[in-house]
């Protein structure tokens, strides 16, 4: 025989009830009648509690009572034939008038004892179970409504009563045996004490009722039907990527639920564990899904942890002082004091010096706990052997759970690195001595971020999600969005990475979407739904959204975003930038960026600052990190100048080639911005700094290609005139080069910590002799690559390759 427990989602809607009846029918067809345990409709217990609380302060809430009534009546109307409705309405009305009477008594007395509250909320289960039994009678005439107060006995600890297991088991089995022909529908959650007063088993307690009944009747299985597909790796409302677990041990289920996975009530596991009865958690919304089995001998799984659970709101109390050191029994006294007053201690940490104890409790218990401590340890406080107990509010607990943890090293390292990288401050830590869980106390505002970051960290076969905030929608930005859109499936499937663009801004508008801005229509969305752009506001909003694995991307060529980098790193957000200005301004700024990113454990990637998407910055970094030393760097890093000298051959005139380059879109609007070598200088400066040299822009020696007349020309048209006038000068250079079988190259060089950029003639033995199009080339001569340099060569300009470089930087965030 099986016990089937249906929760609030099942009894709270017609769809749920229809599915529930189907499930019961299938069970009945197997030849063995199940025993059914039901809870209140979802939300009803909370509504009843609210009404009682309001009654205490003298307020009646007729609308809320009506809403509760309506929800039940609506189900009657939909699921029962008209001729059968009247008696059900009548009974429900009786129940509700009883509730009303109790509420008005509370209102008059301005007092609501736990006993009265239990009575009020017990009607949630009574009404729902009665109602469902009547609906079930249409298919199973032998259906019988059972008020659990008659068969489950507890002490008088109202609100969280302790079950008298022996007595209850006897009563249950006697009742069951004397109603062998009936199909029992038992109210969950409620019971009664020795005096027959209604008690409850603690919020979520219907699951526990099912386990008590299952144990009393030695059932083969306890099924918990709820609104989610079993126990999941984390609360699916907080972690979108949570997935269902197939099996859990009783201990694991207990730890998960104790730390907040309210899909099953923790005490439920005890009776089931003692009798080795499997508990199966299934979804009423997808009845065919296998769900999660909680059992005695579950298969060992490969997952290092089973899940992450959390308690949304807790407070902690810190106690410290010399009075505790070496004082046997201090903590015993403290915790028995709290236990005596029914204050549940969720987590405890004690420093090894015994100088301080921190423990977590429910926020509503904090003031009481503080007062009790002050009374109990008054003498110690007066003697200053103990400091005043400190209460901290607005905190949450996050716990990772799994039996495999004790066999696997590095679990806490993984947990803390995920938290640290995302800037989640840990207020207290505890590891159960069984090593089945590690729990941390964090700020409540960080909980969602922390849960998602930790989930990504442990369940690596899942996708890593990067939340990206992008500045700049010019050529590079646009191309990047297109590339991300085109490759999204590939990225997810093969690399396990999902890139969500959660914010976009250009100089006019900005837009945010936590679920990700659709990349096939970002332009329209930004135009239509975007708010006026404001850089400060953009950064502030990014911080406020507090998302995990967050990346800020700067695809502008403006100095403005640079001023925010430091603040961004300090908020534990990584930066990917194609904007060269940041790294090529003062050395101290460059250093600050690197150091701040390092201190906050985030990445700062700028591969596209040098040679677009070519792996130049990365190659240099790898060389340096592996202990190599740069002796010489030679490079052609201006695609524009490279193009010009590659085409300056034979009959071609210099000014014509410059014009051609401009027509092809390879130059800045004023070609002098390329030809003056400033952009090249910036790249060389960044490389030199990455190679370990503390240089400023003034330290770079630039050989000017252009005669002074060209540089000083007033307009671009004038410039071309001057350039034409200087044709002879360039012609001479070309001839000289060609006659000696050499090629003209504008080459940057880093040697002995000095950087220069000069126009040179190189012969065919030089690696730069053969260059085509707008290729960039860089040769690293190092201690290791001394005989022949390490050379990187390829297209070093253009939106396509630059965006690809930014793309690569983004997906590399968090991987090194």
Q: How far apart are CA 534 and CA 505, in angstroms?
A: 8
Residues binding ligand ADP: number (CB under 6 A)? 20
CB atoms within 10 A of CB 673: 13
Token representation of residue 745:
């190259």
Site mask for ligand ASP (CB under 6 A), range 532-571, x = bound = ----------------------------------------
Compute the 3-state secondary structure of the chain and give helix, strand, coil in percent, each to the nearest 5: 45, 20, 35
Residue 238: CB minimum distance to ligand ADP, A: 8
Selected from 12, 34, 204, 796, the binder of ligand ASP by CB under 6 A is 204
Binding flag, residue 39, ligand ASP (CB under 6 A):
yes
Are the C-beta atoms of 202 and 190 separated by less than 8 Å? no
How many residues make up the chain in this entry?
816
Cα 742 to its chain centre, rounded Å, is: 58
Residue 255: CB minimum distance to ligand ASP, A: 20
Dihedral pair phi/psi, residue 724, rounded to 5°: -65, -40
Residue 224: CB minimum distance to ligand ASP, A: 10
Q: How far apart are CA 524 and CA 807, in angstroms?
A: 22
The interface region with ligand ADP, picked from 14-22, 164-172, 233-241, 476-484 by CB under 6 A, is 233-241
Token representation of residue 249:
């041990």
Residue 260: CB minimum distance to ligand ASP, A: 14
Selected from 34, 188, 260, 304, the binder of ligand ASP by CB under 6 A is 188
The interface region with ligand ADP, picked from 256-264, 269-277, 338-346, 751-759 by CB under 6 A, is 256-264
Selected from 18, 53, 171, 203, the binder of ligand ASP by CB under 6 A is 203
Which is nearer to ligand ASP, 10 or 310 (by Cβ)? 10
Return the one option of ligand ADP, ligand ASP, Mg ion, none that residue 228 interacts with (CB less than 5 to 8 A, by type). ligand ADP
Binding flag, residue 7, ligand ADP (CB under 6 A):
yes
Q: How far apart are CA 658 and CA 51, in angstroms?
A: 82
Site mask for ligand ADP (CB under 6 A), range 29-58, x = bound = ----------x--x----------------
Binding flag, residue 232, ligand ADP (CB under 6 A):
yes
- Which residue has the CB atom at the shortest distance from ligand ASP? 206
For 476-526, give the DSSP string: HHHHHHHHHHHHHHHHHHHH-EEEEEEEEE-SSEEEE-TT---TTSHHHHH
Binding flag, residue 206, ligand ASP (CB under 6 A):
yes
Binding flag, residue 263, ligand ADP (CB under 6 A):
yes
Residue 212: CB minimum distance to ligand ASP, A: 13
Binding flag, residue 226, ligand ADP (CB under 6 A):
yes
Please state at what angle helix 716-725 crosses helix 727-739, rounded to 10 degrees.
50
**Where do runs of H (alpha helix) occur along 306-410?**
330-340, 366-376, 378-382
CB atoms within 10 A of CB 31: 6
The interface region with ligand ADP, picked from 23-31, 230-238, 464-472, 747-755 by CB under 6 A, is 230-238
Residues binding ligand ASP: number (CB under 6 A)? 13
Beta-bridge mates of residue 468: 501, 551
Site mask for ligand ASP (CB under 6 A), range 116-155, x = bound = --------x-------------------------------
Residue 205: CB minimum distance to ligand ADP, A: 10
Running DSSP on this structure, what letter comes out for residue 607? G
Q: How far apart are CA 10 and CA 227, in angstroms?
A: 7
Selected from 69, 234, 381, 803, the binder of ligand ADP by CB under 6 A is 234
- Three-class secondary structure of residue 801 per DSSP: helix
Stretch 198-217 residues interacting with ligand ADP (CB under 6 A): 204
Binding flag, residue 317, ligand ADP (CB under 6 A):
no
Token representation of residue 716:
């671009």
Point out which residues bind Mg ion (CB under 5 A). 204
CB atoms within 10 A of CB 637: 28
Dihedral pair phi/psi, residue 115, rounded to 5°: -65, -45
Residue 551: CB minimum distance to Mg ion, A: 38
Which is nearer to ligand ASP, 189 or 459 (by Cβ)? 189
Q: How far is CA 510 from CA 272, 483, 809, in A?
A: 55, 21, 23
Residue 437: CB minimum distance to ligand ADP, A: 13
Catalytic residue IDs = 683
Selected from 8, 214, 748, 814, the binder of ligand ASP by CB under 6 A is 8
Running DSSP on this structure, what letter comes out for residue 630? E
Selected from 115, 162, 241, 262, the binder of ligand ADP by CB under 6 A is 262
Which is nearer to Mg ion, 281 or 466 (by Cβ)? 281
CB atoms within 10 A of CB 93: 12
> How many Cα atoms occupy the beta-carbon half-sphere of 266 within 13 Å?
14
Token representation of residue 102:
């109790």
Residue 159: CB minimum distance to ligand ASP, A: 11
Token representation of residue 349:
């940490």
Helix (H) or strand (E) holding 554: strand 550-554
Selected from 166, 237, 494, 816, the binder of ligand ADP by CB under 6 A is 237
Residue ranges binding ligand ADP (CB under 6 A): 7-9, 39, 42, 204, 226-228, 231-232, 234-237, 261-263, 307, 309
User: Which residues of the shown chain bind ligand ASP in the complex (CB under 6 A)?
Assistant: 7-8, 39-40, 45, 124, 188-189, 203-207
């Amino acid at each position: 025989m099986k016990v089937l427990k249906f929760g609030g989602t099942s009894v709270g809607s017609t769809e749920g009830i229809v599915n529930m009846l189907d499930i019961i029918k299938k069970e009945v067809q197997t030849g063995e009648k199940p025993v059914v345990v039901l809870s209140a409709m979802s939300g009803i217990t909370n509504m009843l509690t609210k009404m009682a609380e309001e009654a205490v302060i003298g307020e009646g809430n007729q609308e809320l009572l009506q809403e509760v009534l309506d929800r039940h009546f609506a189900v009657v109307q939909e699921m029962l034939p008209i001729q059968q409705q009247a008696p059900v309405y009548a009974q429900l009305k009786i129940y509700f008038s009883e509730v009303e009477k109790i509420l008005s008594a509370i209102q008059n007395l301005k007092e609501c004892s736990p006993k009265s509250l239990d009575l009020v909320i017990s009607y949630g289960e009574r009404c729902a179970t009665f109602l469902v039994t009547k609906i079930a009678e249409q298919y199973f005439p032998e259906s019988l409504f059972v008020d659990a107060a008659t068969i489950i006995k507890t002490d008088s600890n109202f609100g969280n009563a302790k079950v008298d297991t022996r007595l209850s088991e006897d009563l249950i089995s006697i009742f069951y045996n004397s109603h062998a022909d009936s199909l029992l529908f038992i109210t969950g959650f409620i019971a009664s004490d020795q005096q027959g007063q209604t008690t409850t088993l603690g919020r979520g307690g219907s699951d526990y009722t099912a386990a008590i009944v299952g144990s009393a009747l030695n059932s083969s299985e306890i099924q918990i039907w709820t609104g989610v597909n079993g126990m999941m790796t984390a609360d699916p409302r907080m972690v979108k990527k949570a997935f269902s677990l197939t099996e859990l041990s009783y201990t694991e289920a207990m730890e998960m639920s104790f730390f907040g996975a309210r899909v099953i009530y923790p005490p439920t596991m005890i009776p089931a564990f003692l009798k080795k009865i499997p508990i199966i958690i299934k979804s009423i919304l997808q009845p065919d899904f296998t769900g999660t089995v909680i059992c005695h001998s579950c298969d060992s799984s490969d997952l290092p942890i089973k899940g992450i659970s959390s308690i949304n709101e807790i407070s902690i109390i810190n106690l410290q002082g010399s009075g505790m050191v070496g004082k046997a029994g201090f903590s015993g006294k403290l915790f028995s004091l709290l236990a005596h007053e029914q204050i549940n201690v969720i987590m405890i940490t004690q420093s090894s010096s015994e100088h301080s104890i921190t423990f977590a409790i429910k926020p509503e218990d904090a003031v009481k706990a503080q007062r009790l401590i002050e009374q109990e340890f008054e003498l110690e406080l007066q003697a200053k052997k103990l400091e005043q107990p400190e209460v901290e509010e607005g905190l949450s607990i996050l716990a990772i759970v799994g039996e495999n943890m004790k066999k696997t090293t590095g679990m806490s390292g993984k947990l803390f690195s995920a938290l640290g990288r995302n800037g989640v401050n840990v207020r207290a830590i505890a590891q159960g001595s069984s090593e089945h869980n590690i729990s941390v106390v964090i700020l409540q505002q960080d909980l969602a971020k922390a849960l998602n970051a930790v989930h990504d960290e442990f369940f690596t076969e899942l996708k890593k999600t990067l939340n990206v905030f992008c500045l700049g929608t010019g050529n590079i930005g646009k191309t990047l969005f297109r590339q991300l859109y085109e490759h999204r499936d590939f990225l997810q499937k093969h690399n396990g990475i999902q890139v969500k663009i959660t914010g976009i801004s250009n100089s006019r508008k900005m837009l945010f979407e936590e679920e990700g801005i659709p990349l096939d229509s970002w332009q329209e969305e930004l135009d239509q739904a975007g708010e006026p752009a404001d850089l400060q506001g953009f950064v502030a909003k990014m911080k406020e959204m507090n998302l995990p694995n967050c990346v800020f991307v700067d695809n502008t060529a403006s100095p403005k975003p640079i001023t925010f980098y430091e603040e961004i790193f300090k908020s534990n957000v990584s930066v990917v930038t194609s904007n060269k200005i940041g790294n090529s301004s003062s050395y101290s700024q460059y250093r600050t960026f690197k150091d701040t990113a390092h201190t906050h454990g985030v990445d700062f990637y700028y591969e596209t600052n040098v040679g677009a998407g070519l792996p130049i910055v990365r190659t240099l970094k790898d060389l340096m990190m592996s202990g190599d030393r740069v002796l010489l760097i030679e490079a052609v890093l201006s695609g524009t100048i490279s193009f010009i000298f590659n085409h300056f051959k034979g009959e071609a005139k210099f000014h014509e080639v410059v014009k051609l380059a401009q027509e092809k879109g390879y130059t800045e609007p004023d070609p002098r911005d390329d030809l003056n070598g400033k952009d090249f200088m910036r790249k060389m400066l960044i490389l030199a700094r990455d190679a370990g040299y503390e240089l400023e822009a003034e330290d770079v020696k630039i050989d000017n290609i252009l005669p002074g007349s060209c540089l000083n020309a007033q307009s671009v048209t004038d410039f071309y005139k001057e350039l034409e006038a200087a044709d002879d000068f360039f012609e001479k250079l070309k001839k000289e080069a060609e006659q000696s079988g050499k090629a003209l190259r504008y080459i940057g060089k880093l040697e002995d910590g000095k950087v220069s950029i000069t126009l040179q003639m190189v012969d065919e033995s030089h690696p730069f002799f053969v260059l085509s199009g707008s290729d960039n080339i860089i040769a690293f001569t190092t201690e290791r690559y001394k005989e022949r340099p390490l050379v990187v060569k390829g297209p070093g300009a253009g939106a396509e390759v630059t965006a690809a470089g930014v793309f690569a930087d983004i997906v590399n965030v968090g991987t090194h």
